[in-house]
Amino acid sequence: MRPTAPLPRRITRLPRIPLLLALAATAATTLTACGSGSGSDPDTVKVSYKQSTDNSIRVLDTFLADIKKQFEKANPGKKVELVPIKAPDSEYYTKVQQMLRSPKTAPDLVYEDTFLINSDITSGYLRPLDDYLADWKDWDQFIDTAKTAAKAEDGKTYGIPDGTDTRGLWFDKAILEKAGLPADWQPKTWDDILTAARTVKEKVPDVIPLNVYTGKPAGEAATMQGFEMLLYGTEAATASGADPLYDEKSKKWKTGTQGFKDALTFVETVFKEKLGPEVSDALDPNIATRVRGELLPQGKLAINLDGSWLPQDWLEGSGHEWPEWSEKLGLASMPTQHGQSPGKVSMSGGWTWAIPSKSANPDLAFDFIKTMQTKENAQKWYISNSGIAVRKDVAADPAYIKAQPGIKFFTDLVPSTHYRPAYPAYPKVSTAIQEAMEGVTTGDVSVEDAAKRYDEDLKAATDDQVTEG
């Protein structure tokens, strides 16, 4: 992708209601194309999943095609119909929810982001899997933190994680060397990151010093790769050990935390001091694609706060091949605010495989899950997807550790990681965070006012189920 000229500072926001109507219309079109529903053939399991909008990235398609062959060979007379949904994340979520509402359109197996799975659980769209898990020995191999990602408030499990991810700091070794920074750079505090970015700005002025995803166009990347990587490392959060967004005891969302304001202040500083991309570029919906496909490979970005999955875009056949990436880039843990214990922070998410409540072939669907999640197949998927193992036996396998540069670094972050409070209100809470970030990114809103506005939006998003942080 070629560099784009900076856009005007003013950001145009589309009205929400027409956008939702447009998504619903798009979803309806997709539903019509999906056929007569999962119940049409008791010997066929329909598997619906998110297909990348980038035609050069077909990692999941290739993996599922292989599992389909294995499954059909092991189960004579049974068939697998793969139902890809080619759409950006937000449209994929809308289309899936439309499909799950009717037996005519519901697949037998669906790929669910941990970001939204609880919304579908609460809506009654998914089937609890506990009866299946009780008889599946491999479930004991899954790490406890990953198991909780698809567990609902009723205590039941509704999805099988197919891996996880962690986050840290990617940096260009050559740029940092030009700026006089060490090749094994490891910041101990937020100030260390900002100091390094300021040094790069001064010594290597033709590159972007630091990228932190921000604002509504970046969506959950802004919330999770950006804001929450800061928030969960604030002094207030680490001192209490409690979730800085959600109070488990009262089952309410937190307002007015000092850590929230501190995280916003960091974002404000990055853009106020012009340490990040141009504001118009930072608020471009394609910023993540540009970072992976252009800015990092072309040596135009010094430090990037991002996820463990980036190398999947640089592997052979990906369309953005960059075989030298492991030599050009270094990795550093994201530090806590002042270097306080535990010293580093990460966030984890990932996807799960779930069985819709309206699936006509749930037993066949779970058999397909078991085929996908053998140790051998799970390990193959983690490596091809640049994912992080959630199976203990894979994580301990030397072949997995050595398969790709960076895997050990990101796997070692799992003990320091956090999962989002993935309750039904979270998507709305996430949007409120993005709006607060966008306000301080453009400079249109102060940190204090952005935090106050967030508190108001939080009350509306959670039906006033809030408590003082």
Residue 92 shares a structural domain with residue 133: yes
Claim to verify: residue 172 and residue 117 sit in the same structural domain: no
Query: In the block, which residue shows the tokens 């085929």?
Result: 371
Which structural domain range is residue 75 located in?
Answer: 26-165+349-419
Question: Is 260 part of a structural domain of the chain?
Answer: yes
pLDDT at 40: 67
For residues 364 and 460, membership in a common domain is answered with no
Taking a C-beta distance cutoff of 8 angstroms, is the pair 260, 451 a contact? yes
pLDDT attached to residue 332: 98
- Which pLDDT belongs to residue 152? 87
341 and 396, same structural domain? no
- Domain assignment present for 37: yes
pLDDT in single tens digits along all 469 residues of the chain: 333 333 333 333 333 334 333 444 444 444 433 444 444 689 999 999 999 887 777 889 999 999 999 999 999 999 999 999 998 777 888 899 999 999 999 999 999 988 888 889 989 999 999 999 999 999 999 988 888 888 888 899 999 999 899 999 999 999 999 999 998 999 999 999 999 999 999 999 999 999 999 999 999 999 999 999 999 999 999 998 999 999 989 999 999 899 999 999 999 999 999 999 999 999 999 999 999 999 999 999 999 999 999 998 898 877 788 999 999 999 999 999 999 999 999 999 889 999 999 999 999 999 999 999 999 999 999 988 888 999 999 999 999 999 889 999 998 998 889 988 878 899 899 999 999 999 999 999 999 999 999 999 999 999 999 998 7
User: Does one domain contain both 126 and 55?
Assistant: yes
Any idea which residue has 């309750």 for tokens? 423
Q: How far is CA 187 from CA 199, 227, 274, 293, 308, in A?
A: 13, 18, 20, 26, 18
Q: Residue 236 and residue 258: Cα distance in Å, rounded? A: 7
Q: Is there a domain that residue 304 lies in? A: yes
Pick the last residue of a domain from 381, 402, 419.
419
Residues 463, 443 share a domain: yes
Which three-class secondary structure state does DSSP give residue 44? strand
Strands 417-419, 344-348: pairing is: parallel
Q: Which two tokens stand for residue 99?
A: 């499909």
CA 393, CA 320: separation in Å to the nearest integer?
A: 31
156: nearest Cα among 178, 137, 134: 134
CB-count exposure of residue 183 (10 Å: 0-12, 13-18, 19+): exposed
In a domain, 14, yes or no: no
For 45, 298, 396, the CA distances from 271, given in Å and listed in that order, are: 49, 22, 41
pLDDT of residue 67: 98
DSSP for 362-396, written as a single string? HHHHHHHHHHHTSHHHHHHHHHHTT-B--BHHHHT
8 Å CB contact between 385 and 78: no
Please count the other Cβ atoms lying within 10 Å of the Cβ belonging to residue 124.
11
Examine the domain organization and report whether 269 and 150 are in the same domain: no
CATH at 33: 3.40.190.10
Report whether 321 contacts 314 (CB < 8 A). Answer: yes
Which amino acid, one-letter code, is at 359? Answer: S
Cβ-contact 362, 110 below 8 angstroms: no
Q: How far apart are CA 50 and CA 65, in angstroms?
A: 14
pLDDT on residue 276:
98
| Radius of gyration of the chain, Cα coordinates, nearest whole angstrom | 22
Domain co-membership, 139 together with 70: yes
Phi, psi dihedral angles at 442 (to 5 degrees): -80, -20
The answer to the question of residue 17 being in a domain is no
In a domain, 12, yes or no: no
CA atoms within 13 A on the CB side of 199: 16
Number of domains in the chain: 2
Do residue 460 and residue 356 come from a single domain?
no
Whether 435 and 316 map to the same domain: the answer is yes
Q: Say if 9 falls within a structural domain.
A: no
Q: Which pLDDT value is given to residue 293?
A: 93
Same domain, 242 and 342: yes
**459, two tokens:** 């009350």
- E strand residue ranges, 281-392: 301-307, 329-332, 334-335, 344-348, 351-354
Return the closest-CA partner of residue 303 out of 403, 429, 169, 409. Answer: 169
Q: 155 and 36, same structural domain?
A: yes
Helix, strand, coil percent values for the chain (each to nearest 5): 45, 15, 40
Of 402, 419, 436, the residue that ends a domain is 419
Task: Please answer whether residues 297 and 314 qualify as being in contact, where contact means their C-beta atoms are separated by less than 8 angstroms.
Answer: yes
Nearest by Cα to 313 from 59, 4, 53, 49: 59
Q: Does 1 map to a domain?
A: no
